[in-house]
Structure 1
Amino acid sequence: MCEPFISNHQFNYMKKQAVTLEQALRTNADPKVVESVRYSAITRIAELFPDAAPQQMQKLEAIFKLQSADDISRQLKALEPDRTAFPPITAKQIQKLFPKNKKLKLPDLETIDFRHITYLSWVDIATNKLFIVYPAGGQFVGVEGKFTPTNKKSFCFVCNRYEELALFTAVTKKRPAHASPDYYKAVGNYLCMNGQECNKNITDTAALERFIDAVIG
């Protein structure tokens, strides 16, 4: 039995490729088109898992060699035991990431399926703040900032899906050389109002990691 090896964003990427292949199969597309979609999916999955063991790659590629859209959906669901979880974290660890927030409102960790998240986030409605916790370089980092609903739909900078957005603005800890003591700079971007949906959609962590780096350095 393989150890879990598929992170949340990798699974979402696979699901996206699978949906494209399923659509081609369900619409009885030209066989050459189907095979082109199939080849593209297998190639992209191989690029997504460059360090996968042969047994793991065989399991992943087998999904995209199936001839039925229903079989593909079933096999994707069968990969649940192969999904890695967000690293274990406690309430005390979270509190240490935000030391200035003495009355920090914490998420209910018991209700979260950590296999289905790439980043942990929650909103404190009382303060209109969004808190994000992300495992970077083997340790947790925390980012907090102002959370302002826009009442508009557009593309989220984290998952790149068309969703209801909020403006997330955080004060950067980076300081230019010889900056004055009162130096202040905010970094902002638009992300999903619903963090749970964002975690279902995210297929690449690069944009999120760039944002976090811009805030905490």
Structure 2
Amino acid sequence: MERFIRSDQYHYIKNQSQNLLNGHMTSNDTAVKQALQSLTNEKILQLFSDLTSEQEQLLAQASEVKDDTDAILYFSRLKQYVLPFPKLSEEDIKQLFPKVKKLKVPFFREQDLTELSYIGWNDPGANRKYIITYLDGELTSLYGHYRPLHQKSVCSICHEQEKVGLFTSTIKSNKEEETISRGNYICHDSHTCNENIKSRENLETFIRRMK
């Protein structure tokens, strides 16, 4: 069976299974547990279209997770079917940021790419943050001024309460020679942000707004 699960879908399934586990721990009512299992299965299957019977059976097993051991075993197996973010070379990344001189490209371990909806990193020396993701089926890049905050707030990308910073990008307005600065709070740690993403909608909205 080929890989067919996006990273955000994978994290959504993990979140739903955790909610189900919490339900098992807080209720002894069999009817309630069965209802939670049915709802979990329904929500997960709604993420996909045109599933094969084999894929549907794999996803349905998420609603059968009853303890932490089940969860570890199931998600280690499920991860084999997650589509990894494409592996990009240093040259590939530099070509996505043609206007940036002396771009510092971090090293990304191949295993880390499995759970990424976007690649993001901070350059404290230049007070910048860089982001690479897909938009309308094409790789797109975004960078801007980044100022970390010493407090938690809601991230515009993952919509979770995390340690954030103010990301500001400058774009050209409709009038020549005029520019507009737009800012949003986003996670300081891009890896944590990716783990929180359960839908690409907010990520894509953020990219479109900042570009």
TM bucket, shorter chain: over 0.9
1:67 Cα deviation after fit: 4.6
Q: Deviations over 1:7-55 (max 9, x none)?
A: 1111100000000111111234422222222122111111111232221
Alignment of 1:152-171 (within 5 A): 152-171=151-170
Moved over 6 A (4+): none
What secondary structure, in the 3-state scheme, does the structure 1 residue paired with 2:179 have? coil
Task: Provide the C-alpha distance between the structure 2 equivalents of 1:126 and 1:53, rounded to a whole number of angstroms.
Answer: 49
CA separation of 1:68 and 1:144: change in aligned 2, threshold 3 A: closer
Asked if 2 retains the 8 angstrom alpha-carbon contact of 1:26 and 1:69, the reply is no
Count of residue correspondences: 211
Asked if 2 retains the 8 angstrom alpha-carbon contact of 1:91 and 1:106, the reply is yes
Asked if 1 retains the 8 angstrom alpha-carbon contact of 2:17 and 2:65, the reply is no
Query: Percentage identity across aligned positions?
Result: 29
Task: Provide the C-alpha distance between the structure 1 equivalents of 2:66 and 2:166, rounded to a whole number of angstroms.
Answer: 43
1:138 Cα deviation after fit: 2.8
| 2:83 aligned residue | 84
TM-score by length of 2: 0.92
TM-score by length of 1: 0.90
Residue type of the alignment partner of 1:187: R
Asked if 2 retains the 8 angstrom alpha-carbon contact of 1:25 and 1:69, the reply is no
What RMSD over aligned residues (CA atoms) do the two structures have, in Å? 1.7
1:71 Cα deviation after fit: 1.9
| 2:104 aligned residue | 105
Residue type of the alignment partner of 2:48: F
Alignment of 1:21-170 (within 5 A): 21-68=20-67, 70-110=69-109, 113-170=112-169
Asked if 1 retains the 8 angstrom alpha-carbon contact of 2:8 and 2:197, the reply is yes
1:69 Cα deviation after fit: 5.0
Asked if 1 retains the 8 angstrom alpha-carbon contact of 2:156 and 2:206, the reply is no
Gapped runs of 5+ residues in structure 2?
none
Q: 2:186 aligns with which of 170, 191, 210?
A: 191
CA separation of 1:104 and 1:69: change in aligned 2, threshold 3 A: closer
1:139 Cα deviation after fit: 2.1
1:133 Cα deviation after fit: 0.4
1:209 matches 2:209: no
Task: Provide the C-alpha distance between the structure 1 equivalents of 2:76 and 2:28, rounded to a whole number of angstroms.
Answer: 24
Gapped runs of 5+ residues in structure 1?
none
What secondary structure, in the 3-state scheme, does the structure 2 residue paired with 1:48 have? coil
Q: Deviations over 1:135-161 (max 9, x none)?
A: 223321110001111111122121121
